[in-house]
Amino acid sequence: MTQVTRQEILGLYRKIFRIAKKWRSASGQMEETAKEKQYIINEAKTLFQKNKNLTDPEQIKQCAEECEARIEIGLHYQIPYPRPIHLPPMGLAHQQGRALRHQEKLRKLSKPLYLKSHDEIS
């Protein structure tokens, strides 16, 4: 595996701001477009600021992969917000005991790559 360089991370950051600058809402409404542009910028600033002190190459690589995945999904679906995750089968357990712990573990394992950091800042 290759190590992610500072230049690649800065390139992702610039790419996000270029996307935000050209972003058009799927609805075509100007106020929706403005809200979505602002969301893209705020989300990028928040996540990059949160992760600026990471030193572990594996965590940095994971964050870069998440960033690339969110960019591609956002461009493909024309939605800047993270897509929702779906609960695994039998995802609703009673509020106690081993079944609840097992379901929490299943939910954690079923979380896609592009949502790893979303819950941490929400």
Q: How confident is the model at residue 101 (pLDDT cuts 50, 70, 90)?
A: confident
Q: Give the helix/strand (H/E) hosting 60.
A: helix 57-77
**pTM metric for this prediction:** 0.71
Q: If you count them, how many residues does the chain have? A: 122
Say which amino acid occupies 65. Answer: E
9-37 average pLDDT score: 95
CA angle 16, 62, 75 (to 5 degrees): 30
